Amino acid sequence: MLVLLEYLVVTFLAVFVIVNPLTTAFIFMAMLPRASEEKRRAIALRSVKVATSLLFAFALLGGVIFQLFGITLAAFRIAGGIILFGIAIGMIRQKGATEKETAEEVKADKGQVTEDISVIPLAIPFMSGPGAIATVMILTSEAPTVYHTGLVFLGVLACMVACYFAMIYSRYIVQYLGDTGKDILTKVFGLILAVLAVQFVINGISDAAIGFMLDTQMLDENEVEDPRVPARDHD
């Protein structure tokens, strides 16, 4: 039971650091500064539903996608780890004014946001972007049992719930943390994500090396056992 609980915590943190509900809260607050409480809740709920459905879909169809395109798990781990590491570096090196300037540009271009932003940009790409999708697919593919797979889905759901409450209480989060607090937490999340990304790459390289050695061993055994292979002349 304790092992499963630890797995759930690790899964939740892996998704949490890449989704980063705090960033979503700041963007949500910047784009809906004067929206009514009812509208804010409706948009937050819909964005969470869309993001959760998308992540669940990729988690379920990950194996099918691998088979369809002939992708090995080792290759996806390496590629996913590289992508996540790039995102992590961006989070660590991120300048504090970047998101603030982006929010101001949105206001300048569109004025007070009146259209539905629940799908784009909240659900996609902030809550279920390429990094989150890759993370969920890797975690699902690495799950050793059906119970661990269920915990991956539970971890994703818990993270989406955290995103919902982060958006609902974004006004208070922004006031309490400020830009400095948000930047510090973003860099910490980036460091954690970088470690996870490196581990994904290490696991992928290890799996690829083991697979290569097993394939080589099987080929050598087939050459010895196959009677159709002519004997070598040692003269």
Residues in the chain: 235
pLDDT digits (tens, 9 = 90+) for 42-99: 999 999 999 999 999 999 988 788 888 888 878 888 888 898 888 889 888 877 544 4
Percent of the chain with pLDDT over 90: 35
Which alpha helices (H) appear in the chain, and where do they start and end?
2-19, 21-31, 37-69, 73-93, 97-110, 130-142, 146-168, 170-225
User: How many CA within 13 A on the CB side of residue 186?
Assistant: 23
pLDDT digits (tens, 9 = 90+) for 23-34: 889 889 888 888
Residues 165, 167, 171, CA angle at the centre, nearest 5°? 110
